[in-house]
Copies of this chain bind each other. A is one copy, B any other.
Amino acid sequence: MNIINYKEVLEDIYKHISSEENKGSVATYIPELAKINPDNFGVCFLSVENEEYGIGDWQTKFSIQSISKVISLGLAYKIFGDKIWKRVGVEPSGTPFNSLVQLESDNGIPRNPFINGGAMVICDMLVSHFENPKEDFLTYVQEICDSTEIQYSKKVAKSEASVGYRNKALCNFIKSFGNIENEPREVLDFYFHMCSIEMSCQELSKTFMFLAKNDFKTSKGESVLSRGRTKRVNAIMQTCGFYDESGEFSFKVGLPGKSGVGGGIVAVYPGKYCITVWSPKLNKKGNSYRGMEFLETFTTETELSIF
């Protein structure tokens, strides 16, 4: 790897993208999310050697939504080990269109932990395991991020619950196959809260360090996942992190990553760095328009893709 002036590269790309039209549109299906300022734009790069560069709104909190699914997967993997793969797969799901059909032909085993159904199965495991799932999960997130300022947005959780008929359908459908242990109501309550967590780019890059850094330890000195397991979680992000645009992201950006409808994207270069970009306007596939642009340019210019 050549010596790269990351700061300069990042700032150049940020400036360039800021100067161009901000395309796409903010997610509106969750009423509370629709209120966001569409021009927020933040980036935080954090290397495994703790080099940190932040630009723009990198310290503003936003709704991390589906990005939370990586954190809950990490926790479930830590607690239950490879048993989790009996209840959720590791294969990409093809089109969103297929999700319900696939559940049918796969007997209620979601294809991977990053589609909604798979994340619900992971949530169900945590609901079964913890005394107070919501409190205990938040404590865990605060620990790996080393910050007590991370909270759920009750407003967003409530807003999503009020319109989440498709997620209710999904959870009841999986329950009908016996792959949800608890009552759908409880699992969904945990799921909607999990998705409502608010974090900044800075906090997300710090949190995802458990997938980038060998021998990562939390503030309390605890390990999260072994090297073999982080490899596996990264591999799933690579193939399944962007719904039916996973191939496209892999193709263009060449890094494992995860996006959320709040406009955040986290990408991980194993052994090297985490980078988080946030910009609320989404492209047609539901991923941050500027986030995709930024990361594609970044890995192309630095030639720092895993491929």
Residue positions of A touching B, CB distance < 8 A: 89-95, 97-98, 100-102, 104-105, 111-112, 165-166, 168-173, 175-176, 184, 227-228, 230-232, 234-236, 238-240, 244-248, 250-252, 254, 256, 270, 300, 303, 305-307
In the complex, given contacts A92-B246, A231-B305, what are 19 additional A-B residue pairs having Cβ atoms less than 8 angstroms apart?
Answer: A91-B92, A91-B246, A92-B247, A93-B94, A94-B94, A94-B95, A94-B102, A100-B100, A165-B172, A165-B176, A168-B168, A230-B307, A232-B252, A235-B307, A236-B251, A238-B239, A239-B247, A239-B251, A270-B306
Contact B270 A307 (CB under 8 A): yes
Assuming the A-B contacts A176-B169, A307-B230, are A97 and B104 also in contact, with contact meaning beta carbons closer than 8 angstroms in the complex?
A: yes
Contact indicator B100/A101 (Cβ below 8 Å): yes
Residues of B within 8 A of A89 (CB): 247
> With the chains together, A216 CA to B170 CA distance in Å?
44
Contact B169 A165 (CB under 8 A): no
- The 10 sampled A-B contact pairs (Cβ below 8 Å) are A91-B92, A91-B246, A92-B92, A92-B239, A94-B102, A97-B104, A165-B176, A231-B305, A238-B238, A238-B239
Which B residue's beta carbon lies closest to that of A171?
B169
Residue of B nearest to A248 (CB): B90
A163 to chain B, nearest CB (A): 8
Q: Give complex CA distance A245, B300 in Å.
A: 28
Shortest CB distance A271–B (Å): 9
Residues of B within 8 A of A254 (CB): 231, 234-235
The 9 closest A-B pairs by CB, nearest first: A94-B94, A91-B247, A169-B173, A234-B307, A92-B92, A165-B176, A169-B172, A166-B176, A168-B172
Q: Chain B residues with Cβ under 8 A from A166's Cβ?
A: 172-173, 176
Report the minimal beta-carbon distance from A238 to chain B, rounded to whole angstroms.
6
Q: How far is the CA of A102 from the CA of B244 in the complex (A)?
A: 12
Nearest chain B CB to A256's CB is how many angstroms away?
A: 7
Contact: B230 with A239, CB < 8 Å?
Answer: no
Chain B proximity of A301: nearest CB distance (Å): 11
**Residues in B neighbouring A92, C-beta threshold 8 A:** 91-92, 94, 239, 246-247
In the complex, what's the smallest C-beta–C-beta distance from A88 to chain B, in angstroms?
Answer: 11
Contact A111 B91 (CB under 8 A): no
CB distance from A173 to the nearest CB of B (A): 4
Minimum C-beta distance from A106 to chain B (A): 8
Task: Give the distance to chain B from A283, nearest Cβ to Cβ, in Å.
Answer: 15
B contact residues around A227 at 8 Å (CB): 303
A245 to B92, CA, bound (A): 9
Q: A250 contacts B228, CB within 8 Å?
A: no
Query: How far is B251's CA from A236's CA once the two chains are assembled, in angstroms?
Result: 6
CB of A288, distance to nearest CB on chain B (Å): 19
Question: In the complex, what residues of B have CB within 8 A of residue A256's CB?
Answer: 307
From B91, B173, B238, contact of A165 by CB (8 A): B173
